[in-house]
Structure formats: structure tokens, C-alpha cells
Amino acid sequence: MRHANDHRKLGRSPGHRKALLRNLMNSLVLSERIETTVPKAKELRRLGDRLITLGKRGTLHARRMAFALLSNKDATDKLFETLAGRFTERAGGYTRILRTGYRVGDGAEMAIIEYLPTEEKKAAAKGKKKAAGKKAAGKAEKKAAPRGRVSGKADKKGAVRGGQEVKPARAPRKSPEA
């Protein structure tokens, strides 16, 4: 019985697990979006949020602590210069995990973990979605009534029910004698 479930072991020895998470943290900070398995992403979320909190402090001590976790100068610099500034107004929850399905080779559940975009990017994306939604609504109005089976079985030659044309389920068979 594991009373204090502190972290996931990920089926690795402590040294291997630490190296794995360090590599994942470096990749997440540098590319801001990575694909990995769901348990690794959940464990990485804790560390990724902790890194942003260190970056928001901005002190020399916080930079040294972040470098101790990352061991990569480029990742540490990016963390303090760009990522920390993005989340100054946010109190927590800097990452997002999106489940993408199952890996073909072994069936492991995969996920994308990413840092959230800036508020300006979010607002711009919302504006694009609204514009796209208006375009789609205009196209839908222009289209005629949808085709397809309404309810029940259609007769073989097609029928009109409720103002909609109903296509036959399949073409009529020709008799072998003809």
C-alpha cells in the first residue's frame, strides 16, 4: 500500500526516471509542445508548472534552481525570457494535456502536452473561429435541403417525403432472365 503517492515511477529506476523527465522538460521548454504518453505527460505537468513559477520569480536563485532541473542553458534562458513573461497574469495551470489516441506499436495512450498560448493569440484564434463560423453558416443557408433517408424505408425509385428527396437505399436489381 503506497500511502504517500508522491509521483509516478514510470517503470524506471530513480536515475533513469530523473534523466527521462529532465529530457522531457527540456523539450517542452524549447518547443513548447511535445507528444508523449499520458502518464509521462501528467508527471511532466507538475514539473513544467513548477518551472514557470521559478521563471516568474526571476531571481538569480530561481534561475539556478531552474538550471539544476533543466541542465540546459538555452532552455533556462528561454524559460526566463519568454515563457515566464507570458504567464505574469496567471496564477497557475500553465500547461494543457490533450489526449490524442493510442500508439500503433504497443497501444499506449498518447497525449500532447503544451504550454498555454498568450492571451492575444487566444483572442485572435477566437476571432478566426467566429469568422469561420459565420462563413459556414452562410454556406449552410445557401445549400438546398439535405438529401438522404428521412425515416423508414424509401421505395426503390426514390420518394419525396416531408419536402425532402429521399434516395433509394440501393439500385434496383435486374432479373437474370432479362
Instruction: Order the strands of the 109-115 sheet from edge to edge.
Output: 33-37, 109-115, 95-102
User: CB count, 10 Å around CB of 114?
Assistant: 19
Does 3.90.1030.10 match the CATH number of domain 14-117?
Answer: yes
pLDDT digits (tens, 9 = 90+) for 9-26: 888 999 999 999 999 999
pLDDT digits (tens, 9 = 90+) for 30-45: 999 999 999 999 999 9
Cα–Cα distance measured from residue 53 to residue 43, given in angstroms and rounded to the nearest whole number:
16
Residue-level pLDDT at 136: 63
Residue-level pLDDT at 126: 72
Kindly tell me if the per-residue pLDDT of 49 is higher than 80.
yes
User: CB count, 10 Å around CB of 60?
Assistant: 8
Model pTM? Answer: 0.65
Q: For the purposes of burial, counting CB atoms within 10 Å of the CB of 35, is it exposed (0-12), middle (13-18) or buried (19 or more)?
A: middle
- Where are the chain's structural domains? 14-117
